[in-house]
Amino acid sequence: MSDDAVKRGDFERAIRSMNLTGLHNRDATIQLAAHVMALTEVLGVGDAVAEKLPALLEQIRIADLGGTRVALDIDPVRPTADVPCLENMPICKARCCVLEFALSSEDLDAGVVKWDYGRPYLIRQRASDGKCVHNDAQTGHCTVHDKRPHVCRGYDCRNDKRIWVDYDKRIPRERDDIPELDLEPEVFDAVDRLRRRQEAEHLERVALDTGRHT
């Protein structure tokens, strides 16, 4: 079987995951709708509910950003980083290729980069060493470099403590040390992230609709 072939186990895992999620979401939605309709009718507050719904919905969506939902790259496209990867690779051993990230709708449309069917749309990684499946195990080079995700294009490892102890001195971080790093918690604008998430989901729906009619 070629590396490009879809393994039956992966494919079925993805389908089962999607079906189970769909069933769960449908059941949860029906139950929630029944509760809301019952409360609205009993309390006689239909107009008040309609007035407060938009703001409350935004709050709930913001709270849901950290959940286990389908992952899409929502970060803006960044300029290509000028890191000398080929020069550093004998030292760092392409350590960045073990990092986990989500693909964008544009990456998915291109149909080149592989994603984990059981965890859409995270980059697919090898079970043997945890590296991206597009990383050549012998050379460490990216086999889809010209078509690599824009996350990879804009990634700058020089200040990433998961990669380097000291970039200027070219002292790499050992992989076993990564879980012990005391990394600062991510700080982000929740409203901005929600907006970008909604834009990404809209682009994905458009891409899927376009693909269905081509």
Q: What angle do CA 123, 113, 91 make, to 5 degrees?
A: 70
Domain residue limits, the chain: 8-66, 68-214
What tens-digit pLDDT sequence spans the chain (214 residues)? 455 566 777 777 777 777 777 777 888 888 888 888 888 888 888 788 788 878 877 877 777 666 556 788 877 777 888 999 999 999 999 999 999 999 988 898 888 999 988 788 899 999 899 999 999 999 999 999 999 998 999 999 999 988 999 999 999 988 666 545 555 555 557 777 777 777 877 777 787 777 655 5
The answer to whether the Cα torsion of 183, 148, 121, 58 is positive or negative is positive
Q: Model's pTM, two decimal places?
A: 0.68
| CB 91, CB 164: distance < 8 Å | no
